[in-house]
Amino acid sequence: MKALLEKIEPNFGSSFTIRQFENQFLFKDPVWHFHPEYEIVYVSNGKGKRHIGNHISYYDDGDLIFLGPNLPHFGFTQERYDGHKEVVVQMKPDFLGVQFIQKPELADIRRLLERSRSGLSYYGPIRHEIGRRLIKLTQASPFEKLVGLLEILNAMAQSTDYENLHANGFTLDVMVEDEVRIQQVYRFVQQHFKDNIALEDIAKEVSLTVPAFCRFFKKLTNQTFTQFVNEFRVGNACNQLQESDALISEIALNCGFHNLAHFNKQFQRITGKTPSEYKRHMKPVMHFSVVEE
């Protein structure tokens, strides 16, 4: 799946951007995108989905993630609670200056920035502790924001309460027409993943013949359209296994799998567990990395 380039410019007098959203969704109309900036996203409460590179996961009770440059991502909050707040910080790779970041006192932060290139998810008390500091930072002066951000980065660098998402990105040098088409494909799958999606239908949606569509999709995503749809369906099945007491057969059907044996096979291929094992061992924040065949 190809990502759209998001252009981000800090406000005048700032070397990075920080924005806060209250009682609304940061990703109201989510788009698969990338940008050259580092990004910290904090969600104070609620539950939702992350799709970062080749990683798909669901979070509960808020979220704190740190993403490196040019890591394609797509995320949204599916359900929020009273007092909901979301904060996003975006920093250009050289926002601290090429020479300043090499200072020995910043060694831990340098290592943090490097780890973030495959995506980091924080859990435990540190998640909301950092979140409260980010919310407070939105009201600070420009100088206080810079100092406060350094302190936050240092705290994240020192913490061991994080998971490396091991997310990998994709090749980004594609034509604008291809980017528009891949967005059409993603929206179509979102709307119809519960149905039987014929190659003829999706090819017609993007004005291509079936052979041309298969070549186009394979070139941009390094996987077949069928593989992509199965991964999307399994991601939704993971969410239902977490939140629902429905039978596995019912969840399979709700996610577009009309053959239980096929669902079990695809689920284990993608997550490394059977649906029953996944349901028994699921945690408040669950993740899996997509495994290619």
Domain architecture of the chain: domains with CATH: 4-164 (2.60.120.280), 176-289 (1.10.10.60)
pLDDT tens, position by position, 134-158: 999 999 998 999 999 999 999 999 9
278 Cβ neighbours under 8 A, 6+ residues apart: 238, 241, 267, 271
Q: What is the pLDDT of residue 102?
A: 92
Tell me the whole-structure pTM to 2 decimals: 0.59
What is the C-alpha separation between 65 and 88, in angstroms, rounded? 10
Q: What is the pLDDT of residue 177?
A: 65
Q: Spell out a b/e string for 53-66, using b for 16 or more CB atoms within 10 Å of the CB, else e.
A: bbbbbbbbebbbbb
Digitized pLDDT (tens) for each residue of the chain, 293 residues in all: 444 444 445 554 467 889 887 755 444 445 566 777 899 999 988 777 787 876 777 787 889 999 988 787 776 555 666 667 889 999 888 888 888 989 999 999 999 999 998 899 999 999 999 999 999 999 999 899 999 999 999 999 999 999 998 776 544 444 556 667 877 887 888 889 899 999 999 999 999 999 999 998 887 766 789 988 888 888 778 878 877 789 999 999 999 999 999 999 998 888 778 998 888 765 444 444 444 44
Instruction: Classify residue 277 by its DSSP letter.
Output: H
Sequence-ordered list of residues with C-beta below 8 angstroms from that of 239, at least 6 positions apart, any chain: 49, 58, 78
Output the pLDDT for position 78.
59
Nearest alpha carbon to residue 39 among 73, 77, 89:
89
